[in-house]
C-alpha cells in the first residue's frame, strides 16, 4: 500500500470533474449519478454540511473515490459523516479493489473520532454488495430502512402497463376521460421555481420532508439536460408533477421529487404523470425507471401505490459504523435512524 496516497478535500472545486466522474461512472462497478461531480457540486452549493471528499491515487492516477459530508448531530454538539441528502456515497474503485477499499476506509477512520462519532456509507447500486464482507470486518453494520421501486423499461409499453394492477389501469382510463394530459416542461429557472412552490406545498400537506428551492435550482444549474420535469395537466393547469434526473451511464431514469394537486386526485392525475414518465423513459432508450426511496412497509400508502404501478421493491442497504454507545445515542437524538440498540446498550440507557 506504500504506493497509494489518500487525500481529503473540503470542496468540490478541488476535484477534477472528468477524472472523478470517470471513476464513478466508467471505471468502478458501483457508482451512480448521485456520486458524480455535478450532483455533489449542486448539493455542496445548497447545503451547510461540510464536504469530505476522499481520493486515493496510485502513482498520481486516481483509482478510488468516496464522497461524504460532515454534519452536526444537533442539539448534542457531535458530528457524523454521511452521504448527501438526498444522495448516496458508495466506495468507487477503479482497480486493485482490495488495497484501495482498505485505503478509503482507513481514510474515513482518520476522519472519525473525538466529536465525529461515526460514518454512514450508503451505496448507490446493489453492486456494492461485493464489499459486504470487508465492511463487516471493518465494523460496519448493514441495515435496510428504505427501498427503491424499479420498473424494467427494456420492453414495449404494453408489457409495462400490463404489470399495472387492474385498478391502476382503470384509473388511467378515467384520467383520459377527464381530459388529463401528460407532458414534459422546459426546465427553465421559472419552471423550477414554480415546481419548488408546488413541491413545498405538497410536502407540507403530507407532513413530509422535501428539498429546498436552492437545491432544485442548483441541480438545474449543474445537471442541465439531465433533468426532466414530467407533468400531468387538466384544463391547462398543472395537476401532478415529478422532478426527475437521468443517470445515462446506468441507463436509469430516476423519479425523485413529487408535487400533486389534491383537488385532482379524483381525476387520477398522479397515475397519469407516472405513465408519462415511464413512456418517456421507453421512448428515450432507458432500461430502468426508479421511483425513489420508499418506506418498506406493505401497508404504507406510497409502498402500495408503487407496487400497483408494477414496480419491484429493491432494498436500500446502508452500512453504519459508530464507535461508542454515546455516539449511537447522539446519532438517534440527532434525527437519524439506527437499528435497535442491543439489550446491553438499552439497559445502560435506562440507568
Number of H helices, E strands in the chain: 12, 13
CA atoms within 13 A on the CB side of 258: 24
Tell me whether the CATH fold assigned to 4-144+317-350 matches the one assigned to 154-286.
Answer: yes
Could you give the percent of the chain with pLDDT greater than 90?
Answer: 83
Q: Which CATH superfamily is domain 4-144+317-350 in?
A: Gcn5-related N-acetyltransferase (GNAT) (3.40.630.30)
Confidence of residue 325 (pLDDT cuts 50, 70, 90): low
Whether residue 51 contacts residue 44, with contact meaning beta carbons closer than 8 Å, is answered with yes
Structurally, at CATH architecture level, domain 154-286 sits in 3-Layer(aba) Sandwich (3.40)
Q: Where are the domains of the chain?
A: 4-144+317-350, 154-286
> pLDDT tens digit string along 178-189?
999 999 999 999
Per-residue confidence at 322, pLDDT binned at 50, 70, 90? confident
Largest CA distance in the chain: 68
The answer to pTM > 0.85 is: yes
How does residue 302 score in pLDDT terms, banded at 50, 70 and 90?
Answer: very high
Query: % helix / strand / coil in the chain, to the nearest 5?
Result: 45, 30, 25
Give the distance, in angstroms, between the CA of residue 12 and the centroid of all CA atoms in the same chain: 19
Q: Which one-letter DSSP state was computed for residue 27?
A: I
Q: Is residue 52 pLDDT above 90, yes or no?
A: yes
Model pLDDT for residues 204-223, shown as the tens digit of each residue: 998 888 899 999 999 999 99
Which phi and psi (to 5°) does residue 257 adopt? -120, 130
Amino acid at each position: 500500500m506504500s504506493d497509494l496516497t489518500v487525500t481529503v478535500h473540503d470542496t468540490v472545486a478541488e476535484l477534477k470533474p472528468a477524472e472523478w466522474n470517470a471513476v464513478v461512472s466508467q471505471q468502478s462497478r458501483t457508482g451512480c449519478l448521485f456520486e458524480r461531480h455535478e450532483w455533489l457540486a449542486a448539493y455542496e452549493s445548497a447545503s451547510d454540511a461540510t464536504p469530505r471528499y476522499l481520493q486515493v491515487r496510485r502513482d498520481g492516477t486516481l483509482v478510488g473515490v468516496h464522497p461524504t459530508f460532515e454534519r452536526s448531530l444537533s442539539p448534542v454538539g457531535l458530528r457524523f459523516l454521511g452521504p448527501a441528502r438526498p444522495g448516496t456515497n458508495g466506495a468507487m474503485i477503479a482497480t486493485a479493489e482490495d488495497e484501495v477499499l482498505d485505503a478509503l476506509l482507513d481514510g474515513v477512520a482518520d476522519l472519525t473520532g473525538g466529536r465525529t462519532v461515526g460514518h454512514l456509507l450508503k451505496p448507490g447500486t446493489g453492486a456494492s454488495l461485493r464489499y459486504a464482507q470487508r465492511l463487516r470486518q471493518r465494523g460496519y453494520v448493514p441495515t435496510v430502512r428504505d427501498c427503491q421501486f424499479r420498473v424494467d423499461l427494456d420492453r414495449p409499453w404494453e408489457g409495462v402497463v400490463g404489470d399495472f394492477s387492474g385498478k391502476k389501469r382503470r384509473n388511467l382510463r378515467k384520467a383520459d376521460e377527464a381530459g388529463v394530459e401528460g407532458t414534459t416542461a422546459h426546465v427553465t429557472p421559472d419552471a423550477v421555481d414554480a415546481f419548488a412552490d408546488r413541491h413545498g406545498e405538497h410536502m407540507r400537506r403530507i407532513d413530509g420532508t422535501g428539498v429546498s428551492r436552492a437545491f432544485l435550482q442548483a441541480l438545474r444549474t449543474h445537471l442541465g439536460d439531465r433533468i426532466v420535469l414530467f407533468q400531468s395537466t387538466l384544463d391547462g393547469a398543472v395537476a401532478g408533477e415529478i422532478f426527475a434526473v437521468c443517470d445515462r451511464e446506468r441507463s436509469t431514469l430516476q423519479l425523485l421529487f413529487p408535487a400533486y394537486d389534491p383537488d385532482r386526485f379524483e381525476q387520477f392525475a398522479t397515475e397519469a404523470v407516472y405513465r408519462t414518465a415511464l413512456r418517456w423513459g421507453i421512448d428515450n432508450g432507458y432500461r430502468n425507471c426508479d421511483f425513489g426511496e420508499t418506506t418498506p412497509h406493505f401497508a404504507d400508502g406510497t409502498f402500495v401505490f408503487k407496487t400497483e404501478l408494477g414496480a419491484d421493491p429493491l432494498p436500500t442497504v446502508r452500512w453504519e459504523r459508530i464507535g461508542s454507545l454515546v455516539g449511537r445515542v447522539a446519532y438517534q437524538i440527532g434525527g437519524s435512524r439506527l437499528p435497535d440498540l442491543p439489550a446491553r446498550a438499552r439497559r445502560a440507557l435506562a440507568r
